[in-house]
A and B are shown apart, each in its own frame.
Chain A
């Protein structure tokens, strides 16, 4: 009998021994070393043991009786200290064992973030039963708090387990979305929502700076200064193959122990399986390939032919009630097509990735029934061209029914507010419909829903349709774009009603049928989110048109125009000199005075933008936002300062208004003017908001237009003091910001909601105050000079080419 020594009693070597004893029990006399003082257990089931949903006894795969029956010499709780390959001897802490064949199954070590405090008591990795038991002990203290570092598979299972044990749990994840290696942002959004529903706090883009405590961990400090109290810190950021012993024994080691397809190392009598192995550039962390390796090695040890091949793997999260499945390759490569299915009412997201008529990847959340079927198609490389149309519906469903466009509305809870003006929730509308109101007018009469601004009429009709079924014929409404069946008004209302605060949330909950929108809906959704949730949502430059992303207007030749702000059209010789100098320095071909009372520098190449902005900033000039759907200019006349007809300080008022409103994003561009007398030199009567000064005060008009449409303003209100002007103008701006469809100028919006409704709404002083307050909150985030920000080195690079290969060749 040959002597076989195995280092490590893990899942791979356990499976290896099973195959070996099954094929030829008499082939080897086996000795197994294991650093842990126990035999093989099912390590991937530690999470349910942590949560209490399984017992350790249940996950033991090989108990003492099994080792005895197979005459295995167990050296458990004993580390191997050295290997002498010349003498063919393994040296353990308690003595030597000779071998004919040697197998490394040393597995991997958890990676510990080397931040200060990582060695404090109460900081644990999550790898084996001892770690699990320490975590269970920590959870025994009532109200104990845990911080889990790492939002991958293991970290999230640890978090769910500790939560079930009764701890307050926070997960820190470095990347922008959880399980970023296995999931796309949409699936990740659903996962995060699910975990938060369990009372687990999730922080993404959270980088740990240090762990503090006196002997025992007390709190975790993040790079951004946040401090999280903690009684337990779990490090679950990844694993490193454990290859030190093999390296010291002189075996060839790359990132892990190098093996061939027969699992043989650089020494023909030494083998390796499991997480300590590197094969053809691959490392292994999931169990399926480990079992494949074990099978191959058993054959190799019995001198039979077999070869290991890397195959696709699938991932599931072992958290009860969390249905998640990810398989294959869904993120990288060329020539691919996506099929996306979302059912917001059930919280379902599915995405299939197809390449050359083969399924190459699948991500599913909320409905994983067909996971194994898809996984089979991926592994087998099945030609799916015949069933492509209905593929996403799985094997049982080959009819290809269309997705229900009303699913998003059906999913709304009864207390979701539908009509913001009159505070009517979905339940009230359903009640009215069930009570016999079968037309929009009847519902409106009974509930007041859609009776004011009317922008929720589409939603009310959809709720009627969901409630009445086939009895109600939905009037055709124009959706935002082909990505959705919802109108702009619907999307706006739903973002508010369902408190959707990110783009993936909108795409999922409202059933977008594309992975991430298109050039039509992305800028609109981005605007709605930043207008409704200024503090929660972060503006996404990649969802903006080029002008807003680059803070300059692109011209037809690809160059840009640069226009500094001139507050109320007032400038100084110094400013003019700085503009002239900049025009000279950067060879600006055209300098033009605009209709908005400022100076435009046209024809600046993109690469030069940050530099010219820097020069203008130095002279105190800031971006004029001549490129935004936001406040453009406030045009003024000279007013009482100089004009013999002037009735008020129109210039001063204009400057103050501009300083108050600049930087704000709006559904479309907004232009103001202030005229000092009814002669109206500032042309205030064709602006979005125009103020005419009269002897007795100020007339505020709104909804003028002087573009494709020509339309005078209509009077909103007449007020006496400047302070009232500010209050009303800001309130009007904010109402417009909160209600209008993206790309509707105020006059178009007013045509839909009626000036009467706006007057009525703004007539309430409490409403005006609330609108002013919300505008101030938004301005606290968005009123800044983008030029200044983008001249900083980090941002400035964006304006340069990533690389210039024409230079390289010249060297």
Chain B
């Protein structure tokens, strides 16, 4: 498989953590911190009010928030993050209708060798434009993205918008492929995961996780479809697309309609399905990967999809 390469290198995302509402505050709901024990300890005793810190901001603004610099920001754990070598963070609110279920925060470490990007696109005037993004070393691409817009149906971002479903792209297209041709040894961004982030008020947000062929964001991606229109009244989700550096493609056209399924509460994806909350696991619970994240998407009054990635 050339799409995702198994590597023991550190991946783009280093930390994933969950914040859940309790009364009028967000409290720590666990996470995967790799070897960054100090940051984990600092996080576990933290909590955030609405509008406070990064998770509190995602809650208050009801949109995904990207933080590119901790210094001088509202980020509350700057000291611990700097000590852990973390440089940027993204907070993704998980809403079911008007109710905040949780906030998922992923933290990244900057590194000139690792090419990747996390973007937030928002709808305005009938097109999607870049609202926020973390591009690491890919500064030229950041500039290009800021000057790009996607109508419905176009590109990964416009595709997610019109399909109202997560999409996993293996080939982002020529614009992405050649954008870093000036930099020898860099293949450019080829793979991307795009997911709709439904928020109260109906504004459309699309979150993308983009990575280069040689330095994947994650080693395994899965998209699980849980819509009633797909699985019926059964409380289960079907694996409709996925790719893995070990197993190769995780889809099978000869098996359409009878895809791999998980019932609620079965494994991390089943837990996300049952609880409606994001799930972060590490070690054996993450299928042997360093960490895994299962992110549920609530749309049109139901839990529609679960997106999982394994680093």
Contact = CB atoms under 8 A, between A and B. Distances in A.
Interface of A: 42, 44-45, 49, 51-55, 57-58, 136, 139-140, 142, 160, 163-166, 197-200, 287, 291, 316, 319-323, 346, 348, 366-372, 394-397
14 contacts: A42-B253, A52-B172, A57-B2, A140-B175, A165-B155, A166-B173, A197-B152, A287-B254, A321-B165, A366-B229, A367-B229, A371-B257, A395-B232, A396-B234
Contact of B3 (A51, A55, A319, A346): A55
Interface stretch (B25-33, B113-121, B156-164, B179-187): B156-164
A51 B156 CA distance: 9
Contacts of A348: 229
B173 A52 contact: yes
Given A320-B163, A321-B162, A372-B257, A199 B243 contact: no
A165 B175 CA distance: 10
A469 to B, nearest CB: 15
Size category, B interface: 35 or more
B170 interface: yes
A396 B232 contact: yes
Contacts of A368: 229-230, 257
Contacts of A45: 253
B249 interface: yes
Contacts of B98: none
A449 B249 CA distance: 56
A166 B155 contact: yes
B174 interface: yes
A551 B36 CA distance: 84
Interface string B57-96: 0000000000000000000000000000000000000000
B248 interface: yes
Interface in B241-269: 241, 243, 248-249, 253-254, 256-258
Nearest to B257: A372
B233 interface: yes
Contacts, number: 110
B1 interface: yes
Interface in B1-56: 1-3
A57 B152 contact: no
B229 A197 contact: no
Nearest to A365: B229
Given A136-B174, A165-B173, A369-B228, 16 more contacts: A52-B172, A53-B168, A53-B241, A58-B1, A58-B170, A58-B243, A164-B154, A198-B152, A198-B153, A287-B254, A323-B230, A346-B229, A368-B229, A371-B257, A394-B232, A396-B233
Interface of B: 1-3, 151-156, 158-159, 162-165, 167-175, 228-234, 241, 243, 248-249, 253-254, 256-258, 300
B229 A44 contact: no
Query: Which interface residue of A52, A54, A164, A197 has the most chain B CB atoms within 10 A?
Result: A52
B233 A197 contact: no
A52 B172 CA distance: 6
A160 B153 CA distance: 8
Contacts of A142: 175
B149 to A, nearest CB: 11
Question: Which of B153, B168, B254 neighbours the largest number of chain A CB atoms within 10 Å of its CB?
Answer: B153
A575 to B, nearest CB: 58
B176 to A, nearest CB: 10
Given A52-B170, A323-B229, A369-B232, A163 B154 contact: yes
A193 to B, nearest CB: 12
Contacts of A55: 2-3, 170-171
Interface centre among A44, A58, A395 (most CB of B within 10 A): A58
Contacts of B175: 140, 142, 166
B229 A57 contact: no
B158 A199 contact: yes
A320 B167 contact: yes
Given A55-B3, A323-B229, A348-B229, A44 B253 contact: yes
B229 A53 contact: no
Contact of B169 (A52, A166, A197): A52
Contacts of B229: 323, 346, 348, 366-369
Contact of A52 (B171, B249, B257): B171
Given A163-B153, A321-B162, A54 B256 contact: no
The 4 tightest CB contacts between A and B, nearest first, are: A321-B163, A198-B153, A369-B232, A140-B174
Nearest to B248: A58
B3 A57 contact: yes
